[in-house]
């Protein structure tokens, strides 16, 4: 194996696959990056066995030569060391050569590294994808969907299925739901090419977070392929594989109230900032609870009280309050997470009494729903 490559392109590729690589893996070869070179270009692979990322750098792009392939071949190089070396090389021209089996030479300018690689034969092979369901999202929409749901997954392994986001296809819609059983986030979309055949999969929250870091902030299309135990997200030069969680996701549809006793319309950003301040004192306490009072006067009062530290009162003007007067208490953190997911727009808060779950929706957009369970303090 021998090739010359533009350092910056190599670095970008390493940056992508590094997102899958963890130092805490059972199989030591997974601390390495697998590098495969042929006349078309180089493919690098990183994996922690839950997530696998493959990135391809073409030999030529838009008529510009990026890689000069002298000899085909493949090798595994320790990821952290390889990445640091490439980052610090003195010039933008890098030559990588494998000699005598596993000896790797990396040259750039007057700098020369000799590393000992690992045999690519020992690297796990990619999961085979029996292409069952396939559809398409623009990358920026995919990132929004992840941002709006993934924060609500459970952080505890007591119910492993809740650490994932449930993707449920029905009637041409894709419903993405996450819940940790104290709050729930739901986003409904209609992706391009979704067939009418229903499916239900649970994607680990961690995988979606890593995917989000790799996707570009533009409308480049992402192909999504769902198979038995794996999901694959394909962009132009990157393949992102994640295992799926096994088990049945609970039916969450019955949790969501459809009739309301009190409805409040308010600017999401003002509400977020007021809750952020109110929670400053609440944070000292066990569970970060704030109180929320709304009545026909349209002035919402948010307060918290921490006997050791002090108390805080916030008043904000609602755009509208309808229905019964309301006093309710909830986790400031859950409310802030939900408001951030809705992203500063005007929101509706719909309540069905102080002890029942309440929902948040954007005034302009019905596709995002956030649900929070209140806390008994009154």
At its nearest, how many Å lie between a second copy and the CB of residue 89? 7
**Phi, psi at 197, each rounded to 5°:** -70, 120
Stretch that binds a second copy, among 37-45, 87-95, 160-168, 243-251 (CB under 8 A): 87-95
At its nearest, how many Å lie between a second copy and the CB of residue 102? 11
Orientation angle between helical segments 332-342 and 268-282, nearest 10 degrees: 160
Q: Name residues whose C-beta falls within 8 Å of residue 12's C-beta, 6 or more positions apart in sequence.
A: none
Beta carbon nearer to a second copy, 63 or 307: 307
Interacting residues with a second copy between 293 and 312 (CB under 8 A): 308-312
Q: Which two tokens stand for residue 286?
A: 């066990």
Question: What's the length of the chain?
Answer: 378
Among 221, 280, 363, 373, binds a second copy (CB under 8 A): 280
Alpha-carbon span 351 to 262, nearest angstrom: 5
Buried b (16+ CB within 10 A) or exposed e, 305-315: beeeeeebebe
- How many residues bind to a second copy according to rule CB under 8 A? 30
Q: How many CB atoms lie within 10 A of CB 248?
A: 9
Q: How many CB atoms lie within 10 A of CB 142?
A: 23
Question: 201 pairs with which residues across the strands?
Answer: 167
**Region for residue 193 given its phi and psi (left: phi exceeds 0; alpha: psi -120 to 50; beta: otherwise):** left
Stretch that binds a second copy, among 38-46, 152-160, 231-239, 271-279 (CB under 8 A): 271-279
Residue 111 binds a second copy (CB under 8 A) = yes
Residue 316 binds a second copy (CB under 8 A) = yes
Among 17, 89, 177, 231, binds a second copy (CB under 8 A): 89
Interacting residues with a second copy between 343 and 372 (CB under 8 A): none
Beta carbon nearer to a second copy, 83 or 163: 83
Among 71, 313, 320, 366, binds a second copy (CB under 8 A): 313
Tokens 């500063």 map to which residue? Answer: 344
Among 52, 78, 149, 329, binds a second copy (CB under 8 A): 78
Residue 208 binds a second copy (CB under 8 A) = no
Q: Which residues bind a second copy (CB under 8 A)?
A: 78, 81, 84-85, 88-90, 104, 110-116, 273-274, 276-277, 280-281, 308-316
């Amino acid at each position: 194996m021998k090739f010359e490559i533009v350092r910056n392109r190599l670095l970008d590729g390493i940056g992508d696959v590094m997102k899958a690589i963890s130092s805490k893996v059972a199989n030591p070869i997974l601390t390495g990056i697998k590098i495969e070179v042929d006349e078309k270009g180089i493919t690098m692979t990183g994996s922690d066995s839950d997530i696998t990322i493959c990135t391809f750098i073409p030999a030529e792009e838009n008529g510009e030569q990026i890689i000069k392939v002298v000899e085909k071949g493949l090798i595994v190089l320790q990821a952290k060391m390889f990445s640091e070396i490439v980052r610090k090389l003195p010039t933008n021209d890098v030559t990588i050569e494998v000699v005598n089996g596993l000896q790797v030479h990396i040259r750039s300018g007057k700098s020369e590294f000799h590393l000992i690689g690992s045999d690519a034969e020992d690297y796990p092979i990619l999961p085979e994808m029996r292409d069952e369901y396939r559809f398409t999202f623009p990358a920026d929409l995919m990132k929004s969907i992840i941002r709006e749901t993934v924060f609500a997954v459970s952080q505890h392994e007591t119910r492993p299925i809740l650490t994932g986001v449930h993707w449920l296809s029905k009637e041409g819609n894709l419903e993405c739901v996450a819940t940790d059983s104290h709050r729930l986030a739901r986003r409904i979309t209609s992706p391009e090419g979704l067939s009418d055949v229903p499916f239900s999969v649970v994607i680990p929250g961690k995988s979606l977070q890593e995917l989000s870091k790799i996707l570009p902030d533009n409308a480049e299309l992402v192909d999504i392929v769902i198979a038995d135990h794996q999901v694959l997200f394909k962009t132009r030069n990157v393949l992102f594989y994640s295992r799926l969680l096994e088990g049945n996701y609970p039916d969450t549809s019955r949790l969501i109230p459809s009739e309301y006793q009190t409805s409040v319309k308010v600017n999401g950003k003002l509400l977020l900032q007021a809750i952020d301040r109110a929670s400053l004192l609440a944070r000292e306490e066990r569970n970060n609870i704030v109180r929320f009072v709304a009545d026909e006067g349209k002035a919402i009062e948010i307060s918290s009280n921490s006997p050791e530290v002090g108390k805080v009162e916030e008043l904000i003007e609602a755009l509208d309050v309808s229905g019964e007067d309301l006093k309710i208490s909830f986790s400031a953190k859950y409310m802030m997470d939900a408001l951030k997911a809705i992203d500063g727009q005007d929101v509706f808060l719909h309540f069905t009494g102080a002890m029942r779950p309440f929902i948040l929706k954007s005034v302009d957009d019905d596709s995002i729903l956030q649900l929070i369970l209140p806390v008994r303090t009154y």
